[in-house]
Every structure is written in C-alpha cells, then in structure tokens.
C-alpha cells in the first residue's frame, strides 16, 4: 500500500513538473519582408468629369512583417498617409476631391505573396 502511494505521489510530481515548466525549445515566430511601391493620384470633382491634380509616391517596407495580411494593412496605412497629404496639398477637403491608389505590395517569408491595389474600391474621399 505504501508503495502504491509513493508511486502515485511521484507520478503526480512528474505530471506537475511537465505542466509547470516551460518548454526547452524556444518557439520563434517567423517574419518576412514586406514592401509596397507605386503611386496615389489626386482628383478634383469638376462638373461632368474629374480633373487630375497631382500624384504622390506610395512606398514603404517592413522587415518584421508577420504575414501577408499584416503587409496588406501596412501598405494601406502608407497609402492612407500619402492620400491625406495629397488631399491637403491640393485643397481637396470637404468632399471637393478624392485620391485613388495604383501600387503593388509584396510579402516574402520564404513564400512570396503580392497584389496590385488600384481603383475606386480603395478610393479615399477628401
């Protein structure tokens, strides 16, 4: 009986040790390189057409990107910053104009993902 109790206590101690102690192999989250390059175009609303006002460069990179979704969002942020600058530069605020993108983003963590972002789906109204 004493032998059975000792075995149960030893087993419980070993289980506790495995559950409480951290793993001996450190888990490292993989990262990759993200970059975006291209342009943003500013337009003014003029009756019956859109007048081109100017353009800005969309460009940025992040060597610590965690995945392609992060990269896509990072490049949208870069584009949004450029779009805001163009709205201000050409005085397109209060709904007088808009900015449309035309840039590429690329993410590589051993596998490459890329896309072209353009058109009214990503239009920023000023």
Q: For position 6, what pLDDT does the model report? A: 46
Contact between 38 and 93 under an 8 Å Cβ cutoff? The reply is no
**Pseudo-torsion of CA 47, 50, 77, 58, nearest 10°?**
-150
Helix (H, G, I), strand (E, B) or coil at 1: coil
* CA angle in degrees (0–180, nearest 5) for 60-52-83: 30
State pLDDT tens for residues 36-82: 999 999 999 988 989 999 999 999 999 999 999 999 999 999 999 99
Region 17-23: mean pLDDT is: 45
pTM for this model (two decimals): 0.74
């Amino acid at each position: 009986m004493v032998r059975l109790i000792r075995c149960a206590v030893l087993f419980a101690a070993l289980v506790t040790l495995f559950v409480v102690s951290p793993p001996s192999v450190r888990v490292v989250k993989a990262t990759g390189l993200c970059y975006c390059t291209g342009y943003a175009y500013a337009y003014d609303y003029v009756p019956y057409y859109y007048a081109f006002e100017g353009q800005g460069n969309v460009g940025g990179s992040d060597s610590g990107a965690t995945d392609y979704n992060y990269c896509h969002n990072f490049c949208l942020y870069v584009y949004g910053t450029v779009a805001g600058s163009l709205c201000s530069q050409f005085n397109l605020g209060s709904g007088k104009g808009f900015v449309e993108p035309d840039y590429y983003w690329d993410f590589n963590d051993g596998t490459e993902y890329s896309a072209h972002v353009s058109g009214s789906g990503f239009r920023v109204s000023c």
